[in-house]
């Protein structure tokens, strides 16, 4: 049984301002209508003899992971890693879970969820070749023939041929400088390291135990102490934090005697830069790659993306312009490797735009901030069918709710009522209230908050069907705009 292990814990900064810590690139639609995670789920769902996926990520992203898994055709389990310890311990915990679910012959297909693949047939053929190696106990990774001198990737030096499209691994090379990357481009023995792996769970764990026993022990204890929280499998925090932080490459593959590389010729890209995104989506006759509401005049070789409003350019050359609701990036294409440094500087300066995003996911749906001003805040709230917010009250604000689509069940100071499209209600300051969706379609409503303090830490949760507490962290929240009275970037609509 092939168990997809989908790694969704990365924190993207090279695609800022679109990709941020609270919602990195795997959850974004960069090259189509669906997110990279949704594309990965669809890709693995079409593989033969495939088991439900194990989707591994951070607690702050758990609701967006659950939502995108829910809307996919792939069954799966969201596994919460309680601390960032790189890929080796996360995959080890998944291996223990796969053995518990599927027995000794469980195979793991380890995939990042922030990559794109153009040729799915070639992808499936490469997986089949790797499975043949896994059946013999081999540890397999996937190499991609370099398309350019790329200093941002790790490389694999391939050795002797084992079978058609399969070669032994001679060595691993860390990210080289531009000159060295150009040498690798001309050498047929060097491949990009895709970060994709396939092996039997027991073989990976045996190799990990031999080479990195501390990681093996920590992952084993973290899995043994795991518990179900709502629909999430939470690894034991104390045990998992004891693990050293190492990648699979360092912890296992570099010291493995039986590591092999399967060549992946499937139009693979990690979409790790704005130039890579532009290459994936194509360009016009003047080399411009645009997305969204964009009008260009006398511009050439530009990457322009609009998320929230009209963007226009005149006379630009080789320039990146990325617009979002609260931040705009303008950079020369030769400087895009410095975006990480820019984001680090924003973090040092305490700018919440570096990390926070305005849309947040919850077990009942999502909310997105629309506008903020002195003593008011406006949000779009979406509640999925059967979703139910906590029973709560506020000390400093009142709320107006207007139903845009669907049916709302409203509880306010013990009185229940049903509201449909174009109907509204008022929640007075201090009233005990709850919002539910009793219908079969999404409930969309606009919430207008008003009061002397609009921070969402002004909440007293009296009952919650999802078992959350008042002090649960809210690190995946959208950033309030400047001017909100008391609005806090750590606020959460519960």
For the stretch 187-207, pLDDT in tens is 999 999 999 999 999 999 999
* DSSP 3-state of 201: helix
Position 1 pLDDT exceeds 80? yes
Q: Where are the beta strands (DSSP E) in 270-364?
A: 289-291, 294-297, 303-306, 311-314, 319-323, 328-332, 359-362
Q: Residues 308, 36, 273, 347: is their CA dihedral positive or negative? A: positive
Closest CA to 445 of 375, 364, 373, 372: 364
Q: What is the mean pLDDT of residues 13-28?
A: 91
DSSP state of 488: -
Report the pLDDT value the prediction gives residue 363, as an integer from 0 to 100. 84
Summarised one tens digit per residue, pLDDT across range 217-266 is: 999 999 999 999 888 999 999 999 999 999 999 999 999 888 999 999 99
CB 331 within 8 A of CB 341: no
Query: What is the reported pTM?
Result: 0.82
What number of CA atoms fall less than 13 Å from residue 143's CA on the CB side?
29
Q: Say how many C-beta atoms besides its own lie within 10 A of residue 63's C-beta.
A: 21
Report the pLDDT value the prediction gives residue 272, as an integer from 0 to 100. 87
Position 429 pLDDT exceeds 90? yes
Whole-number Å distance between alpha carbons of 153 and 245: 20
Report the pLDDT value the prediction gives residue 478, as an integer from 0 to 100. 35
Q: Is the peptide bond before 17 cis (omega within 30 degrees of 0)?
A: yes
What number of CA atoms fall less than 13 Å from residue 127's CA on the CB side?
22
Report the pLDDT value the prediction gives residue 481, as an integer from 0 to 100. 35
Domains and CATH numbers, the chain: 2-269 (3.90.550.10), 275-352 (no CATH), 358-463 (2.60.120.10)
Instruction: Look over the chain and give the mean of its residue pLDDT values, rounded to a whole number.
Output: 90
Q: Using a pLDDT cut of 90, give the percent of the chain over it.
A: 72
Token readout for 435 is 């919002």
Report the pLDDT value the prediction gives residue 469, as an integer from 0 to 100. 58
Higher-confidence residue of 183 and 456: namely 183
Computed over its alpha carbons, how large is the radius of gyration of the chain?
24
Work out the burial of residue 406: count CB atoms within 10 Å of its CB; fewer than 13 is exposed, 13-18 middle, 19 or more buried. Answer: buried
Position 151 pLDDT exceeds 50? yes
Higher-confidence residue of 408 and 31: namely 408
Report the pLDDT value the prediction gives residue 468, as an integer from 0 to 100. 66
Question: pLDDT confidence of 389, banded at 50, 70, 90?
Answer: very high
Position 150 pLDDT exceeds 90? no
Summarised one tens digit per residue, pLDDT across range 336-382 is: 989 999 999 999 999 988 988 777 778 899 888 888 889 999 999 99
Whole-number Å distance between alpha carbons of 387 and 63: 13
Report the pLDDT value the prediction gives residue 473, as an integer from 0 to 100. 38
Report the pLDDT value the prediction gives residue 493, as an integer from 0 to 100. 47
């Amino acid at each position: 049984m092939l168990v997809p292990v989908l790694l969704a814990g990365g924190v993207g900064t090279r695609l800022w301002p679109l990709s941020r810590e609270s919602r990195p690139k795997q959850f974004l639609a960069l090259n189509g209508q669906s997110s990279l995670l949704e594309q990965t789920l669809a890709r693995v769902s079409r593989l033969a003899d495939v088991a439900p996926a194990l989707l591994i990520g951070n607690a702050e992203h758990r609701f967006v992971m659950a939502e995108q898994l829910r809307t996919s055709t792939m069954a799966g389990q969201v596994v919460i890693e309680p601390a960032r310890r790189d890929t080796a311990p996360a995959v080890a915990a998944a291996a223990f879970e796969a053995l518990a679910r599927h027995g000794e012959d469980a195979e793991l297909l380890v995939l990042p969820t922030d990559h794109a693949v153009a040729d799915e047939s070639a992808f499936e053929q490469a997986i089949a070749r790797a499975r043949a190696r896994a059946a013999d106990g081999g540890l397999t990774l996937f190499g991609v023939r370099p398309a350019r001198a790329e200093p941002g990737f790790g490389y694999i030096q391939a050795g002797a041929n084992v079978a058609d499209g399969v070669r032994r691994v001679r060595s691993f090379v860390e990210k080289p400088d531009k000159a060295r990357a150009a040498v690798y481009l001309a050498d047929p023995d060097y491949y990009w390291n895709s970060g994709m792996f396939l092996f039997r769970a027991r073989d990976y764990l045996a190799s990990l135990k031999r080479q990195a026993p501390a990681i093996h022990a920590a992952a084993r204890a973290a899995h043994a102490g795991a518990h179900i929280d709502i629909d999430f499998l939470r690894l034991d925090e104390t045990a998992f934090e004891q693990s050293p932080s190492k990648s699979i490459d360092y912890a296992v593959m570099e010291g493995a005697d039986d590591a092999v590389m399967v060549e992946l010729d499937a139009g693979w890209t990690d979409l790790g830069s704005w130039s890579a995104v532009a290459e994936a989506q194509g360009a016009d006759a003047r080399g411009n790659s645009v997305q969204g509401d964009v009008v260009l005049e006398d511009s050439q070789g530009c990457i322009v993306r609009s998320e929230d409003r009209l963007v226009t350019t005149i006379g630009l050359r080789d320039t990146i312009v990325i617009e979002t609701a609260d931040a705009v990036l303008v950079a020369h294409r030769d400087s895009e490797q410095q975006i990480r440094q820019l984001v680090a500087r924003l973090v040092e300066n305490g700018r919440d735009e570096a990390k926070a995003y305005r849309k947040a996911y919850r077990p009942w749906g999502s909310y997105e901030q629309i506008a903020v001003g002195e003593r008011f805040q406006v949000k779009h709230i979406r509640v999925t069918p059967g979703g139910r917010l906590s029973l709560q009250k506020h000390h400093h604000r009142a709320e107006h709710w207007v139903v845009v689509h669907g049916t709302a069940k409203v509880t306010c100071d013990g009185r229940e009522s049903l509201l449909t499209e174009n109907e509204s209600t008022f929640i007075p300051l201090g009233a005990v209230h709850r919002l539910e969706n009793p219908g079969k379609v999404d409930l969309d409503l606009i919430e207008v908050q008003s009061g002397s303090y609009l921070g969402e830490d002004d909440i007293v949760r009296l009952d919650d069907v999802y078992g959350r507490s008042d002090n649960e962290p809210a690190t995946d929240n959208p950033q309030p705009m400047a001017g909100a009275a008391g609005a806090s970037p750590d606020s959460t609509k519960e």
